[in-house]
Chains A and B, each alone.
Chain A
């Protein structure tokens, strides 16, 4: 891709970001969303976050890897259990990364 094409792409990507993130907030109170749909929308953040993380945990290069040889999965599950007990995000991330790195280097 030429330099110009890349800048054009970056510009369009910025438009994509601006459009998706600002449309409704710019419309403000001019758009009334029916209550049923509002109810459904409240579930969106959790679902979106799951949609982003689950593939990273379960897939390796696009292939499903559910066994103990999937270090991200093992470390991820252990980190979740750790968080449910300790309720500390910084420690959870540290714990998960240490476990993941340890598995990667020595398992």
Chain B
């Protein structure tokens, strides 16, 4: 990170980049709404009143934490146990917050608070994919907002639908699977090298092995384990690179994100036209 904060002269807002964010997030909306629906139904099945369910969906706005806490509420678990579980489930967001922080450090505190508060898994992943570097770049706030607004809306629409139709929807329709598919879809372009692939595989394995651990610690262990594995693979491959072995990149096999590829092609043609 830079030693002294430079004044932010690059515009944060840019309507074109806002639309880019909307376009990027659009395909995930159905999956997010489906997941919201599942959580809405779960809240109703746990006998929360409509007011409580609405309160939970608006104030907590964290699907995995809500789903983890509902069975505990049903069992009448002590409130501090539920809090500890939700905290453990949400701990991955501390990491995401650390990743987002340098991009928005120059904003007023309340803007940072709201942007961070509603930024879920998919929003963070998609934002970081578009802006992998901390340095000033135009339209970061617009892009994030472009991802956030529809994400939040889709979730609320799904949740409210689930709350009001909860009893009518048979659970064996498995509608939540659409949410899983959406998340899988966003994960694939993030796997750009072997290190990430290994990390993802290890995270998957640990999340299955630790599925029944208390406080949903399996999720947290999976994230940390995956990160450690990816770092270890990076180390090994860097040492291999020093000895002249091929660089670690899956970009040709797994394919580059279409948007990035298109942008690169556009830049290449623009460069050719100037020659």
Contact = CB atoms under 8 A, between A and B. Distances in A.
Partners in one complex: yes
Interface of A: 1, 3, 5-29, 31-33, 35, 38-59, 62, 64, 72, 75-76, 79-80, 83-84, 87-90, 92-93, 96-97, 100-101, 104
A28 B207 CA distance: 31
Nearest to A36: B231
B222 A25 contact: no
Interface residues of B, number: 100
Contact of A33 (B1, B115, B227, B258): B1
A77 to B, nearest CB: 10
Main SS class of interface, A: helix
B86 A16 contact: yes
A73 to B, nearest CB: 11
B211 A51 contact: no
B172 A25 contact: no
A44 B207 CA distance: 14
Contacts of B159: none
Contact of B112 (A7, A25, A55): A25
B56 A93 contact: no
B59 A49 contact: no
Contact of A28 (B55, B61, B112, B181): B112
Contacts of A56: 176-177, 180
Interface in B161-189: 172-174, 176-178, 180-188
Contacts of B116: 21-22, 25-26
A99 B97 CA distance: 37
Interface of B: 1, 5, 27-28, 30-31, 48-49, 52, 55-56, 59-62, 64-66, 69, 73, 76, 79, 82-83, 86-87, 90-102, 104-106, 109, 112-113, 115-117, 119, 121-122, 124-125, 128, 132, 172-174, 176-178, 180-188, 190-191, 195-196, 199-208, 211-212, 218-219, 222-223, 225-228, 230-231, 234, 254-255, 258
Nearest to A85: B255
A46 B94 contact: no
Contacts of A64: 208
B231 A13 contact: no
Contacts of A62: 211-212
Given A47-B226, A51-B222, A87-B255, A97 B28 contact: no
Given A20-B97, A23-B94, A93 B82 contact: no
A75 B192 CA distance: 24
A24 B109 CA distance: 11
Given A44-B96, A48-B96, A50-B200, 7 more contacts: A22-B112, A39-B234, A58-B204, A79-B184, A83-B184, A83-B188, A88-B27
Contacts of A22: 97, 112-113, 116-117
B208 A59 contact: yes
B68 to A, nearest CB: 10
Contact of A90 (B27, B66, B201): B27
Given A20-B94, A44-B227, A7 B55 contact: yes
A76 B188 CA distance: 13
A79 B180 CA distance: 11
Q: Taking each of B65, B96, B173, which has the highest tally of chain A beta carbons within 10 Å of its own beta carbon?
A: B96
Q: Taking each of A12, A31, A101, which has the highest tally of chain B beta carbons within 10 Å of its own beta carbon?
A: A12
